[in-house]
């Protein structure tokens, strides 16, 4: 019997995407939207997703719309800016499915030229066993050939698979091939639907306090800027896919193992409210740790504790 499988679209489901952000390097937001409207950006971009080279597409725009000859290249040159972060909540659902033993695959309309940028940047994509990229196959959703390619290549039985996409037409194409499909409107709805399909249970409630060790300078900067980009020492949230947390009895081991070279006054121990952080508890090589599959935000923090003598007393 084929293993239970969930197949994720990426843009708009796992990763947030806003093309205006790339064009902003060359023009303002209003001009970017005018450019996109006048050149028919959706269709132009669909051809990139189908494997047509950016260079050829840029020449086409330059020939037809000389006023946009330079601006159109901003999309490719600044593509990284279009990926504005993980879609809130989806990463936790992905982690829970993996923990439940569900097989995870990706099926995305994405240019083969730009996909490596996303692949390098976002650690959550490593949770997917494999990703079928339209630009590599030169076929885009909702063409049924792309779905069949994934099913055949990875020996997935359609009846045992669930497809998740924010495009209703793509979901309808999946249903026509015998897959169950979820029209993505948000992570909470997605999780509820997966519970209804018996792929997930109710999330276990974590009641005890959670802690995150941070460099004092990094945390102070995040309070000033409103953004804390880190997962743990030396790794960003995006690259890791989650933020490292610990229970009270794990603090000393974490600090000794990963922060031993820091003077205590250079560190701060953040205490988080588990009802706000809503972690996923995952097994490590020796013990289980809570992980936060979302950026750590100031409103999750209920107290800051000093670190003393290589470990802390959070009293």
pLDDT at position 233: 83
Q: Show the low-confidence residues of the chain (pLDDT under 50).
A: 310
Confirm if 183 and 26 have CB atoms less than 8 A apart. Answer: no
216-253 pLDDT tens trace: 999 999 999 999 999 998 899 999 999 999 999 999 99
Alpha carbon distance 296, 216 (integer Å) = 15
Residue pair 307/216 in contact (Cβ under 8 Å)? The answer is no
Q: Does 5-15+83-196 carry CATH code 1.10.287.130?
A: no
pLDDT, residue 273, reads: 95
pLDDT at 1: 52
> What DSSP element (H or E) covers 132?
strand 130-133
pLDDT in the model for residue 234: 85
Cα 106 from Cα 108, distance rounded (Å): 6
* Predicted pLDDT at 283: 81
CA angle 72–73–78, rounded 5-degree value? 110
CA distances from 166 to 4, 37, 170, 172 (A): 21, 21, 8, 11
Name the CA dihedral angle for 10, 16, 19, 20, rounded to a multiple of 10 degrees: 170
Q: ∠51-140-58 over CA atoms, to 5°?
A: 35
pLDDT of residue 309: 62
- Contact between 6 and 97 under an 8 Å Cβ cutoff? The reply is yes
pLDDT value, residue 111: 98
* In the chain, alpha helices (H): 20-23, 29-39, 41-49, 54-64, 73-77, 90-99, 115-121, 134-137, 144-153, 168-176, 187-196, 216-225, 237-240, 251-258, 274-277
Radius of gyration of the chain (CA): 22
Where exactly are the structural domains of the chain? 5-15+83-196, 16-82, 210-312
CATH class of 210-312: alpha beta
- Do 304 and 270 meet the contact criterion of CB atoms below 8 Å apart? yes
> What pLDDT sits at residue 315?
57
């Amino acid at each position: 019997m084929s293993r239970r499988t969930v197949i994720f679209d990426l843009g708009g489901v796992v990763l947030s995407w806003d093309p205006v952000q790339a064009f902003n390097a060359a023009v303002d937001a209003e001009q970017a939207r005018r450019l996109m409207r006048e050149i028919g950006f959706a269709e132009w971009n669909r051809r990139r997703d189908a494997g047509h080279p950016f260079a050829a597409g840029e020449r086409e725009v330059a020939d037809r719309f000389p006023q946009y000859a330079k601006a159109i290249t901003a999309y490719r040159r600044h593509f990284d800016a279009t990926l504005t972060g993980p879609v809130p909540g989806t990463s936790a659902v992905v982690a829970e499915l993996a923990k439940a033993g569900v097989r995870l695959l990706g099926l995305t309309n994405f240019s083969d030229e730009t996909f490596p940028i996303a692949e390098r940047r976002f650690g959550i994509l490593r949770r997917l066993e494999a990703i079928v990229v339209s630009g590599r196959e030169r076929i885009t959703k909702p063409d049924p050939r792309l779905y069949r390619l994934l099913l055949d290549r990875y020996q997935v039985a359609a009846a045992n698979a669930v497809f998740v996409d924010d495009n209703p037409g793509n979901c309808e194409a999946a249903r026509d091939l015998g897959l169950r499909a979820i029209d993505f409107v948000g992570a909470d709805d997605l999780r509820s639907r997966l519970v209804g399909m018996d792929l997930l249970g109710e999330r276990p409630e974590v009641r005890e306090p959670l802690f995150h060790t941070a460099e004092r300078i990094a945390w102070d900067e995040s309070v000033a800027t409103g953004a804390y980009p880190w997962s743990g020492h030396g790794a960003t949230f995006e690259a890791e896919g989650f933020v490292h947390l610990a229970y009270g009895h794990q603090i000393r081991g974490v600090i000794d193992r990963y922060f031993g070279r820091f003077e205590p006054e250079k560190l701060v121990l953040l205490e988080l409210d588990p009802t706000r952080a809503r972690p996923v508890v995952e097994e490590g090589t020796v013990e289980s740790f809570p992980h936060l599959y979302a950026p750590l935000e100031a409103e999750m923090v209920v107290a800051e504790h000093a670190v003393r003598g290589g470990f802390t007393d959070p009293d």
